[in-house]
Amino acid sequence: GEDVEQSLFLSVREGDSSVINCTYTDSSSTYLYWYKQEPGAGLQLLTYIFSNMDMKQDQRLTVLLNKKDKHLSLRIADTQTGDSAIYFCAEAYGATNKLIFGTGTLLAVQP
Amino acid sequence: DVKVTQSSRYLVKRTGEKVFLECVQDMDHENMFWYRQDPGLGLRLIYFSYDVKMKEKGDIPEGYSVSREKKERFSLILESASTNQTSMYLCASSWAGGYNEQFFGPGTRLTVL
């Protein structure tokens, strides 16, 4: 079945760049998403990328998409303590409106 | 702003009790979803509804049922709660169509004793 994989944990120092990686399985996904979950809260959309794009930049965030390898990454420049959260990638499942979420990556930012 | 609200942030129930989790959205979204979130497992879809009175099973529907009598409200029902249903439950909604960003509620942390 469909599976979206992420590493579970990433630790960086404040001011460094963070790179969170994701591999997905459905090559027909039109959109791929990155969500952020702060402690005790629901998920919030951080950014998304359309499948015909290779890269999308939004302030400190850069999303890279490698469709051949089905690999998605999120780079956060100048990581701050407020970026500490769980980050989920998600792909749209075929022609449905369902999303398949990865396991989530806990980003810990050390001061 | 889209708002998705859930009836409780924290809930403690006993084994065998019937449990209702309510979710309301205010953006006239066609789609509504119930997920459970467990550490290391990410979000798993329990049920999905694409219209009033319409529902579709997700990946882990066993032990759960849902109700959608009005477009803005989607209820998750645990007919007889069990300890392995202790989890964080997240509701989400989205428009139908190609761009299917889901908007999430704050979650309900359910503990079954």
Quick one: which of B93, B97, B100 has its CA closest to B73? B93
Contact A42 B45 (CB under 8 A): no
Partners of residue A104 in chain B, C-beta under 8 Å: 42-43
Amino acid identity for residue B11 in this structure:
L
Question: How far apart, in Å, are the Cα atoms of B72 and each of A24, B25, B31, B68, B91?
Answer: 31, 5, 10, 8, 12
Higher pLDDT, A8 or A77: A77
Q: How confident is the model at residue A40 (pLDDT cuts 50, 70, 90)?
A: confident
pLDDT at B59 over 80: yes
At residue A94, the pLDDT reads 62
pLDDT at B107 over 80: yes
**Among A56-60, A79-83, A89-93, B71-75, which is the least confidently predicted range?**
A89-93
Strand B64-70: give its sheet, edge to edge: B4-6, B19-25, B73-78, B64-70
Nearest-Cα distance to chain A for B106, in Å, is: 4
pLDDT at A21 over 80: yes
pLDDT at A28 over 60: yes
Separation of first and last alpha carbons in chain A: 40
Stretch B53-71: mean pLDDT, rounded? Answer: 95
pLDDT at B3 over 80: yes
Q: Give the whole-angstrom CA distance, residue A5 versus residue A90.
A: 10
Instruction: Report residue A12: phi and psi, to 5°.
Output: -135, 165
At residue A96, the pLDDT reads 66
Amino acid identity for residue B57 in this structure:
K
The chain-wide mean pLDDT, for chain B, equals 93
Q: Write out the residues of chain A at the interface with chain B, using a CB-CB cutoff of 8 A.
A: 4, 8, 30-31, 33, 35, 40-45, 48, 88, 92, 97-99, 101-104
Higher pLDDT, B86 or A97: B86
